[in-house]
Structure 1
Amino acid sequence: MTYVRDDESSGERLDRHWNELLQELRLAQTGTQILFAFLLGIAFQNQFHSADAFTHAVYAGTLVACALAAAFFLAPVALHRVLYGRGLRDRLVTVTDRLARGGMTLLLASMSGGVLIALDVVLPRPAAGAMVGGVLIVFLALWLALPAYVRHKGPEKPN
């Protein structure tokens, strides 16, 4: 349930939500772009060419997921440019929230794939897969379970 602060108009609330989303996206965009640059460089390493089909498939999926995550995180910029001054801030905030959630999902896939590629070099494949499973559990615990717990335990306050 969404609440409105007594001292805040609907427009001020939308502006505040928009600014909060932008701050979150700045962090996610930077990390995603660094990961993407790192992933692009892997394909040009001599050792990568001798990797097996599994590694190449994980790499391809990871690279595409990371590129899509960047697209999701950058889409609000283009959206804002097109919609600026049209009085559609409410839609912009809603769509940007959904884009950020989609980007986070793709970033999770990218991070997991990147960890798998790296661990597959230094560990036996089953151990690497198990460790990536552990990493996924930590991400899900921090990104989904912890916020759900805090939301459940804490008093509801206005957004």
Structure 2
Amino acid sequence: MDTSNSKAAGRPGPETRDDGRRETESERADRRWTELIQEVRVAQTGVQILFGFLLTVVFTPRFTELSDTDRTIYIVTVLLGSATTGALIGPVSFHRVVSGRKIKPQAVVWASRLTFVGLILLLCTLTTALLLILRVATHDSVVPWLVAGVVAWYLLCWFVLPAWARHRYTTAD
């Protein structure tokens, strides 16, 4: 089949997806990559600020007053923050290493997976950071319930609502 004729006639060629965008696989990968990097930039900024703050806590005078449990929560939080940073910076490194190898569609898939893992790790990092802060600030038995409420909110905003929208508004091909 002559792809130039089908494209000139406005019909999708063998490389073109007919999802309303009329883009080739390469164009789709470029668009998805750009969208993904924009999403990662938003998450990275928050993670970098949180992680930077976490790294300074150990050098404050009050750190030595923390209970063993609170120190353990702090260490877990720092490790999670580090893992989150790695996962969310991973797509940039992945792109740089495979750039020019003509595997952008596959790079987008892997970078997307790293980003999703980064979001799960971010959920864990924020949860443990909130737990530590509220434990130190209040010493109240309601802290686990407050943290659980915030985690439920994160889950709703980050995963439940998008999954519902995907199910509700995606048509079967």
Give the equivalent residue in structure 1 for 2:101: 86
Q: Is 1:35 equivalent to 2:56 in the alignment?
A: no
The superposition leaves residues 15-68 of structure 1 with CA deviations (integer Å, 9 ceiling, x where unpaired) of 110001000000111110000001011111111111101100110011000111
The answer to whether the Cα contact below 8 Å between 2:80 and 2:124 also exists between their aligned partners in 1 is yes
Give the equivalent residue in structure 1 for 2:33: 18
CA RMSD of aligned residues (A): 1.8
In structure 2, C-alpha distance between the alignment counterparts of 1:78 and 1:105, rounded to whole Å? 19
Work out the number of aligned pairs and report it.
157
Identity of aligned residues (%): 34
TM-score (norm 1): 0.92
Structure of higher CA gyration radius: 2
Give the equivalent residue in structure 1 for 2:11: none
The offset of 1:125, in angstroms, is: 4.4
The offset of 1:153, in angstroms, is: 2.1
In structure 2, C-alpha distance between the alignment counterparts of 1:4 and 1:157, rounded to whole Å? 12
In structure 2, the gaps of 5 or more residues are 1-16
The answer to whether the Cα contact below 8 Å between 1:3 and 1:157 also exists between their aligned partners in 2 is no
In structure 1, the gaps of 5 or more residues are none
Give the equivalent residue in structure 2 for 1:110: 125
The answer to whether the Cα contact below 8 Å between 1:69 and 1:104 also exists between their aligned partners in 2 is yes
Q: Is 1:151 equivalent to 2:166 in the alignment?
A: yes
Residue 97 of structure 1 aligns to a residue in which SS?
Answer: helix
The superposition leaves residues 124-158 of structure 1 with CA deviations (integer Å, 9 ceiling, x where unpaired) of 34311111111110000111111122122224399
Give the equivalent residue in structure 2 for 1:8: 23
In structure 1, C-alpha distance between the alignment counterparts of 2:91 and 2:155, rounded to whole Å? 24
Residue 141 of structure 2 aligns to a residue in which SS?
Answer: helix
